[in-house]
Amino acid sequence: MRIGVIGSGALGLYYGALLQRAGQDVHFLLRRDYQAIRRAGLTVTSPHGDFHLERVNGYQDSAQIGPVDLVLVGLKAYANAQLIELTRPLVATGTTLLTLQNGLGNEDLLAAAFGADKVVGGTAFLCCNRGQPGTVHHLDQGAIRIAEFAKGLSAKVEHLAVLFKQAGIPCEACADLTRIRWEKLVWNIPFNGLCALTGLPTGRLLACPETRQLIAEMMREVVAAANRQPLTEPLEGEGFIARLLDLTTGMGDYRPSMMVDRLQGSPLELDAIYGVPLERAAARAMPMPRVAMLHALLAATEPQAL
């Protein structure tokens, strides 16, 4: 399969590298890593085994990639103003668009531009960071869940799940995209925001009883808001939250992507992870006051707000 990766950060490089190693024809749109990867290839370090790709198809202009069978979108949601322009040269009649971006609203943007039938959304629970240019450090996790934007469980998403599994990526084909999006937000909303705001990794926040309690309370708000959405079945409450807390404790002092973005001086994905979920919760008469406060504090401490 010919695959184009738009947004070759840690997520895009990691999954794209695994797909290429499995024999897929992968083409990366590169920015920071372009020169290093063109010169020396792409290195992935991982608890599952390090590997190096000597030759990588890398480009600085998506028009040079041309039409592909699958577009894998890992672009940060704060850059979505560029998403359609970057993606358009890769789209042909039979192209599938799979966005693994954080938050809500990404599929709507792609569907409006290219048609809902082309769009698949997914969530990646992945602990991965970029190192030196041309290097990606996979730390833990990595499973993907995907579902079509326009319909329930389909042969298309089942085929994609097989493709990812063959590359060593755990992948579940699902029927309810809205549900899996909100499930990921239960983790993303408290941990991404609190780590970015405080400068503390997940382990430090969970080791403090007060912040651990705050995280659990935010998770309850997100679960309650999710269960007001049109889901095929509701999210589990306390059991799901307990499992997420235990899972994150096992990750140690992990730095979520939003914390890394703030440390690097990059914008935060505030609209996709906070703004749109808060709007959709409010539309269903389910306010999230703690989440709204965190959103306000993050917005106020963005460089352009200071």
Active site (catalytic) residues = 184
Within 8 A by CB and 6+ apart from 139, the residues are 47, 127, 128, 129, 251, 254
Strand partners, 4: 27, 71
* Alpha carbon distance 198, 233 (integer Å): 35
Strand partners, 124: 144
Residue showing tokens 């549900």: 179
Give residue 242's identity as a one-letter amino acid code. A
Q: How many residues in the chain?
A: 306
Do 195 and 256 touch, CB atoms closer than 8 A? yes
* Alpha carbon distance 154, 152 (integer Å): 6
Q: Could you please report the per-residue DSSP string of 105-160? A: SHHHHHHHHH-GGGEEEEEEEEEEEE-STTEEEEEEEEEEEEEESSSSS-HHHHHH
Structure tokens belonging to residue 22: 């499995």
